[in-house]
Amino acid sequence: MSKSDKFWDKTAEKYSRKPVPDEEKYRQKLSETQEFLSADMHILEFGCGTGTTAIYHSPYVQRIEAIDISENMIEIGRKKAEAAGISNLTFSRATLEEYKADSSSLDAVLGLNVIHLVPNRKELIAEVARILKPGGIFISSTGCLGDSYFRFLRFFIPFLKPLGIVPDIFIFSEAELTTEIKNAGFSIERQWHYGPQNIEVFIIAKKC
């Protein structure tokens, strides 16, 4: 288990009780995502946390696979899905690379509040492109700290991480992220930002 898994395992219980920071924007993301979903779709969410979003989307698709590096996060997700009687949602402990979905096998991939936590962002986006069908949808919501005052966090993270106060956090701008998504073979269908200094960026991209 890496230091990052430990951070999220320790945080899981508290995370599951924390209210969504901006309910209105969360609802907007859910409804814009659902515009791109349909009942015959097979979709995957990586970094699913405790499965809240996957549970909301489950009635709109045929099947959802939800993966996360934290066993504690997905255990809470499993219990919530079971309590809600949801049968088309499965949880597994894995990164996207470890999960090794078949090429061109998925209709949509979601990565919400997670891309800023992965060290190998370009490889991750390339993997999303590999596993999506042509025309498949990549939906992401990402803290892009690179253009904000929060970019100075990069000087503090090396000291805070060993204390278990913050997880691995990678700092990049919205422009860098969108360029990487386009370079991986996507067209951007929706893009808007919100939050303090507009650091949260919601993107719906389509595999060309």
Ligand X SMILES: C[S@@+](CC[C@H](N)C(=O)[O-])C[C@H]1O[C@@H](n2cnc3c(N)ncnc32)[C@H](O)[C@@H]1O
Question: How, if at all, do strands 89-93 and 106-112 pair?
Answer: unpaired
> Which x/- pattern, by CB under 6 A, does the window 30-59 give for ligand X?
----------------xxxx--xx------
Cβ-based nearer residue to ligand X, 109 or 112: 112
Minimum distance, C-beta of residue 73 to ligand X, in the bound complex (Å): 4
Contact between 117 and ligand X (CB under 6 A)?
yes
- Smallest distance, ligand X to C-beta of residue 2, A: 9
Q: Is 144 in the site for ligand X (CB under 6 A)?
A: no
Residue number with CB closer to ligand X (28 or 113): 113
End-to-end CA distance of the chain, in Å?
Answer: 36
What is the number of helices (H) and of strands (E) in the chain? 8, 7
Q: Interface with ligand X includes 128 (CB under 6 A)?
A: no
3-state secondary structure of 203: strand
Whether 118 and 144 have beta carbons less than 8 Å apart is answered as no
Q: How far is the CB of 191 from ligand X (least distance, A)?
A: 18
Any idea what the Cα angle at residue 66 is, between residues 63 and 72, rounded to 5°? 145
DSSP SS3 for 60 = helix
Structure tokens at 146: 């690179």
Beta strands at 63-68 and 89-93: parallel, antiparallel or unpaired = parallel
The answer to whether 72 and 48 are in contact (CB under 8 A) is no
Q: Which residue is nearest to ligand X (CB)?
A: 49
Q: Which of 114, 129, 171, 204 touches ligand X (CB under 6 A)?
A: 114
Q: Minimum Å distance from CB 208 to ligand X?
A: 25
Alpha-carbon gap, residue 66 to 54, rounded angstroms: 7
Instruction: Rank residues 4 and 34 by Cβ distance to ligand X and give the closer one.
Output: 4
Site for ligand X in 58-97 (CB under 6 A): 68-70, 73, 95
User: 41 or 74, CB closer to ligand X?
Assistant: 74
Kindly identify the residues of this chain, within the stretch 178-197, that bind ligand X according to CB under 6 A.
Answer: none
- Spatial CA neighbour of 193 closest among 154, 143, 157: 143
For ligand X, the closer CB: 5 or 174: 5
Residue 136 CB coordination number (10 Å):
22
Q: Which residues bind ligand X (CB under 6 A)?
A: 4, 8, 46-49, 52-53, 68-70, 73, 95, 112-114, 117-118
